[in-house]
Amino acid sequence: MPATKRSRQNTFKTILWLGLVSGTLDAIAAILLSLKVGPVVIFKFIASGFFGKPAFAGGAEMVIAGILFHYLIAYAFTWLFYVFYPFTYKLFKNKYAVAIIYGGFAWIIMNMIVMPFTKIGAHHIKPATIVTGVLALIICVALPVVLVADKKNRAS
């Protein structure tokens, strides 16, 4: 097997398990940060971005849809962060700075660009919610991706 094909397969495998890890860590963080509402409401809220208010009246199918949307988004950010890590590392020369920037970037993209165009729409976000959301994304999504990408890039 040619080296480039093997390299692409290794990258794909890495992104596959890393997306699962970061998506799961992010889901756990969301659940822990929202203990009052619980995981069912969290995943129905995510599903409501596509299905609107009827998602909250739905049953297990809406929870499953929310979980699927959550992991789809987690994989998209994992892929993006992993692929662009070498470029951003060259710019900032510090993997932890890159993780902080990635976490902030993910929060801004989701809350200021994506959500206003969903059926959730634009909504008021409290400053404390912003801080906890950004920190959760830095710790649960950006940091794992950056640490793995950094290790893989140093090994190449």
What is the residue-wise DSSP string for 63-97? HHHHHHHHHHHHHHHHHHHHHHHHHHHHHHS-HHH
The pLDDT of residue 4 is above 70: yes
d(CA 97, CA 55): 38
> What is this structure's pTM?
0.91
Q: Tell me how far the alpha carbon of residue 81 is from its chain's centroid.
A: 10
CA atoms within 13 A on the CB side of 117: 5
Q: Give per-residue pLDDT as tens, 20-41.
A: 999 999 999 999 999 999 999 9
